[in-house]
Amino acid sequence: MVRPNRCPCHRPASRSASARRRLPRIDRTGVARVTNRFTPGIFTPDPRPNAPLRMLVAQTRLELILLLRNGEQLLLTMFIPITLLIGLCLLPVGDLGEHRVDSVVPAVMMVAVMSTAFTGQAIAVGFDRRYGALKRLGATALPKWGIIAGKSAAVVIVVALQAVLIGAIGFGLGWRPGIGGLALGAVIIALGTITFAAMGLLLGGTLKAEIVLALANILWFIMLGIGSVVFASDDLPEVLRLIARLIPSGALAETLKAALVGSVDWFGVAVLAVWATACGYLATKTFKFT
């Protein structure tokens, strides 16, 4: 056997004292004992839910980003209402009086609220359930009311952007509302948005996606017709007007029309509040993640 040549003066490098101190100690049983250099409990899991307000803000931000990135939603929420506003103001369609824009702006705002808060929300929630997105969201610490409130808050923000844009275009077309009317109109728009968002979540959170897609569009056309009748017909029989005002679209149409001229339609406000409360309660009780 050939042994390697070693210099008699060569010795292997010894470990320093600090390196020797870092080595684990071995007790009599042969088990290495490692000194804990961290504070006890620093890595202990703490699986508590976050504060409700912070969860709501995070969910609202997520829903708002998803709404603004969806091209179909932008078409439904921005392009269609703006096209209706410009077309009805410039084209001689129907008998809307001398100042057409005063009647067209609240009508288009009603359409925008229904499109964004009801139809868009119902279809989006229905297909989120179908593809399993809500199932994964339901596995988090976020409760049902947090999901519903987050979606509703995101819709309120989008509708606020719609109101500003539609109001600016209407102002360019000659619409001149008073400050008091704008303030009352903002409150009514917020109430109507919450009402239709609760309806959309109730529909999208309980039925299959295909049924939601068909039913949401059918109900949108029906409520659009009812709201248009309330706006365009001043000589409507009192019984039919009362029935129309019991529907959310008719109540929003009449209440918004009155608010923009500086008056409050308390009957319409009560109808919207009842619909919002009832649909919101049912949505929290019957909402399904799958």
Domain boundaries, the chain: 52-286
Rounded Cα–Cα distance for residues 222 and 194 (Å): 19
What whole-number distance in Å separates Cα of residue 202 and Cα of residue 178? 36
- Number of Cβ atoms within 10 Å of the Cβ of 216: 22
Region at 174 (left for phi over 0; alpha for psi -120 to 50; beta for the rest): left
Alpha carbon distance 203, 199 (integer Å): 6
From the list 242, 140, 256, 147, the residue with the least C-alpha distance to 192 is 256
Q: Number of C-alpha atoms within 13 angstroms, CB side, residue 162? A: 35
Residues of the chain with pLDDT under 50: 1-2, 8-10, 17-20
What pLDDT does residue 35 have?
61
3-class DSSP assignment, residue 7: coil
d(CA 272, CA 36) in angstroms, rounded, equals 63
Q: How far apart are CA 78 and CA 162, in angstroms?
A: 7
Which amino acid belongs to residue 210?
Answer: E
Cβ atoms 219, 72 nearer than 8 A: no
Write down the pTM of the prediction: 0.75
**Phi and psi for 235 in degrees, rounded to 5?**
-100, 30
Cβ(231)–Cβ(103) below 8 Å: yes
* H/E segment holding residue 281: helix 266-286
Q: What is the largest CA-CA distance in the chain?
A: 118
